[in-house]
């Protein structure tokens, strides 16, 4: 099947036809987490979004090198303290213990959300020499200056010489330039507010430090992504992704560093995911408007009435386009939970459908095929998962109708039915990365066997019109949140 993949490029603010640099190969870099605290649910949204993008690119035949970094040094807070150090101080741990602890936690959360691991997951601390080299290159090209052992990127000069600063984030360069030096914090060694550190001299109490030509210190936050993307994907590569809030200054500075060090263009397509909101507002720890993934899963929060499983949350995320804000509310999650169940049930129903040997394909056959084509078209259109899901849900009602006899299976060719089974399965599990949680909950077949026995016994009772026994079984199972579904061809069951 031909694909005309289009994606929205934050740089041009337009959907563009996607043309990888090398046929059949895609290099994709996504800014990963800073591992100083438990992973935030908003982080999870971003990584789930890029997980689906990664999965779909692979699904349509690309070989993808997906690089997602771990930031374990150099990320400064307002007060100038390193995030890693702050975490270490609070928990009385070595910085590397902090990094390890939260890296493990992050990986566990990605596993829970069924996000595939990236091809390469480089750490900032593992690439100090590469970052030092990049600083040297920037200095050599005249876009940096040293001050008391620290090195700063000379944004003003970069703007004057290249004129390429501010394009991604829509900064007004004149305004940036016009900012006076008075705006500088008093202790700053920067010449201009728009300048940023690429190497920081470590203060005496700073534990994370490496030798460099300028001082014992550590790299600036933005530098790692420039250095590591260049190292693993080359000076120019296909896709760079991250959260919307990284556009400025992080990504803008990344571009400046790439160009400033080697006239490299860096990424050709920039993709940004939008924010996750909680009850209409940005999640924020300070005002209590926040919920952690574990709290969400078990329902341990004032913001939700109950727990929602990781796959329900993942499905919920896919119902919104990655470039739109996603508002997490209890009501919306309840709706998503039911929709998710309906989707999973439909897959089971579909896989149980048998083709009619004497089928004569008619309009229904054509409709199914056209809906399936639509599934690909929607994904090709900037990874429009909500629209893709809409198409899939249209298939769901066709599937249920075929099962229930409202639509004749005799009008669907064996080939079309086989394709439907394949496409449905592929999109739900392979592309969207959803999991059937019932099947994975240590179900070794015992439950299926027991349920079949109970269903058989109930069928006998119903045959004798013993409604008392029949309803007793039904009600007892219901109290266990197991639902019996009586159909034309017998009874099936599922979880509520």
Partner RNA sequence: GGUCGCGUGGCCGAGUGGCUAGGCAAAGGUCUGCAAAACCUUGUACAGCGGUUCGAAUCCGCUCGCGACCUCCA
**Does 408 interact with RNA (rule: CB under 7 A)?**
no
H-helix or E-strand spanning residue 419:
helix 414-425
Q: What is the DSSP string of 341-406?
A: HHHHHHHHHHHH----TT----HHHHHHHHHHHHHHHHHHBT--HHHHHHHHHHHHHHHHHHHHTS
**Does 390 interact with RNA (rule: CB under 7 A)?**
yes
Burial 111-127 (b: 16+ CB within 10 A, else e): ebbbbbebeebbbbbeb
**Does 64 interact with RNA (rule: CB under 7 A)?**
no
Residues numbered 279-308 forming contacts with RNA, rule: CB under 7 A: 280-283
Residues 6+ apart with CB under 8 A from 492: 348, 484, 485
Give the residue with the Cβ less far from RNA, 273 or 413.
Answer: 273
User: Using omega within 30 degrees of 0 as the cis cutoff, is the peptide bond preceding 249 cis?
Assistant: yes
Give the residue with the Cβ less far from RNA, 3 or 141.
Answer: 3
Name which of 190, 224, 202 is nearest 69 in CA terms: 224
**Does 86 interact with RNA (rule: CB under 7 A)?**
no
**Does 105 interact with RNA (rule: CB under 7 A)?**
no
In DSSP terms, which residues pair with 484 in a beta bridge? 493
In the complex, minimum distance from the CB of residue 438 to RNA, in angstroms, rounded to a whole number: 15
**Does 76 interact with RNA (rule: CB under 7 A)?**
yes
H-helix or E-strand spanning residue 201:
strand 196-201
Burial 212-232 (b: 16+ CB within 10 A, else e): bebbebbbbbbbbbbbbbbbb
Give the residue with the Cβ less far from RNA, 319 or 410.
Answer: 319
Residues numbered 309-338 forming contacts with RNA, rule: CB under 7 A: 319-321, 324-327, 329, 331-332, 334-336, 338
**Does 366 interact with RNA (rule: CB under 7 A)?**
no
Name which of 194, 317, 238 is nearest 27 in CA terms: 238
Binding characters for RNA, 453-472, by CB under 7 A (x = yes): ---------x----x--xx-
In the complex, minimum distance from the CB of residue 226 to RNA, in angstroms, rounded to a whole number: 14
CB 292 within 8 A of CB 42: no
**Does 28 interact with RNA (rule: CB under 7 A)?**
no
Site stretch for RNA (CB under 7 A), options 86-94, 115-123, 224-232, 395-403: 395-403
In the complex, minimum distance from the CB of residue 339 to RNA, in angstroms, rounded to a whole number: 2
Residues numbered 123-182 forming contacts with RNA, rule: CB under 7 A: 169-172, 175
Give the residue with the Cβ less far from RNA, 119 or 319.
Answer: 319
Please select the residue that binds RNA; options are 29, 45, 73, 364, rule is CB under 7 A.
45
**Does 12 interact with RNA (rule: CB under 7 A)?**
no
**Does 451 interact with RNA (rule: CB under 7 A)?**
no
CB 1 within 8 A of CB 212: no
Site stretch for RNA (CB under 7 A), options 85-93, 103-111, 112-120, 391-399: 391-399
**Does 90 interact with RNA (rule: CB under 7 A)?**
no
**Does 100 interact with RNA (rule: CB under 7 A)?**
no
Give the residue with the Cβ less far from RNA, 64 or 283.
Answer: 283
Site stretch for RNA (CB under 7 A), options 29-37, 125-133, 140-148, 210-218: 29-37
Please select the residue that binds RNA; options are 129, 163, 362, 404, rule is CB under 7 A.
404
Give the CA distances from residue 434 to residues 37, 392, 399, 426, in Å, rounded to whole numbers and listed in that order: 27, 14, 19, 10
Size of the site for RNA (CB under 7 A): 81
**Does 188 interact with RNA (rule: CB under 7 A)?**
no
Give the CA distances from residue 58 to residues 24, 55, 243, 494, in Å, rounded to whole numbers and listed in that order: 10, 5, 22, 32
Please select the residue that binds RNA; options are 164, 177, 277, 435, rule is CB under 7 A.
277
């Amino acid at each position: 099947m031909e694909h005309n993949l289009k994606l929205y490029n934050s740089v041009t603010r337009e959907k563009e036809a996607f043309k990888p640099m090398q046929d059949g190969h895609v290099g994709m870099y996504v800014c990963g987490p800073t591992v100083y605290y438990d992973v935030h649910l908003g982080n999870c949204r971003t990584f789930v979004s890029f997980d689906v993008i990664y999965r779909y690119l692979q699904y349509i035949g690309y070989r993808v090198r997906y690089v997602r970094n771990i930031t374990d040094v150099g990320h400064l807070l307002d007060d100038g303290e390193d995030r890693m150090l702050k975490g270490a101080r609070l928990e009385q741990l070595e910085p590397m213990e902090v990094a390890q602890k939260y890296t493990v936690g992050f990986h566990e959360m990605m596993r829970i959300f069924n996000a595939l691991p990236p091809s390469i997951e480089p750490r900032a601390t593992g690439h100090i020499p590469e970052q030092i080299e990049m600083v040297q290159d920037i200095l050599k090209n005249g876009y940096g200056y040293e001050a008391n052992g620290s090195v700063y990127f000379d944004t003003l000069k970069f703007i004057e010489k290249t004129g390429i600063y501010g394009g991604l984030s829509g900064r007004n360069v004149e305004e940036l330039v016009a900012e006076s030096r008075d705006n500088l914090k008093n202790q700053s060694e920067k010449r201009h507010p728009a300048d940023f550190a690429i190497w920081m001299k470590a203060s005496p109490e700073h534990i994370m430090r490496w030798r460099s030509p300028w001082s014992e210190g550590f790299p600036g936050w933005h530098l790692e992504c420039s250095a590591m993307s260049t190292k693993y994907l080359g000076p120019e590569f296909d896709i760079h992704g991250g959260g919307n809030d990284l556009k400025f200054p992080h990504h803008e500075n990344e571009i400046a560093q790439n160009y400033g060090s080697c006239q490299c263009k860096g990424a050709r397509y920039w993709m940004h995911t939008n924010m996750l909101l909680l009850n209409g507002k940005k999640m924020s720890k300070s005002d209590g408007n926040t919920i952690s993934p574990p709290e969400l899963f078990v329902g341990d929060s004032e913001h939700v009435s109950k727990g929602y499983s990781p796959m329900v949350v993942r499905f919920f995320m896919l119902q919104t386009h990655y470039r739109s804000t996603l508002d997490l509310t209890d009501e919306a999650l309840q709706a998503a939970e039911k929709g998710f169940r309906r989707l999973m049930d439909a897959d089971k129903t579909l896989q149980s459908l048998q083709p009619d040997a004497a089928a004569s394909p008619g309009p229904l056959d054509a409709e199914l095929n056209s809906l399936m084509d639509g599934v690909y078209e929607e994904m090709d259109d900037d990874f429009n998962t909500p629209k893709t899901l809409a198409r899939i849900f249209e298939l769901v009602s066709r599937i249920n109708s075929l099962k229930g006899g409202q639509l004749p299976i005799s009008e669907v060719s064996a080939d079309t039915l086989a394709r439907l089974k394949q496409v449905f399965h592929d999109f739900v599990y392979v592309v969207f990365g959803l999991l059937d949680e019932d099947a994975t909950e240590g179900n070794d077949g015992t439950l299926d066997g027991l349920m079949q026995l109970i269903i058989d016994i109930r069928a006998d009772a119903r045959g004798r019109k013993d409604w008392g026994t029949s309803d007793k079984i039904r009600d007892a199972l219901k109290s266990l949140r197991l639902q019996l579904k009586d159909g034309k061809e017998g009874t099936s069951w599922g979880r509520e």
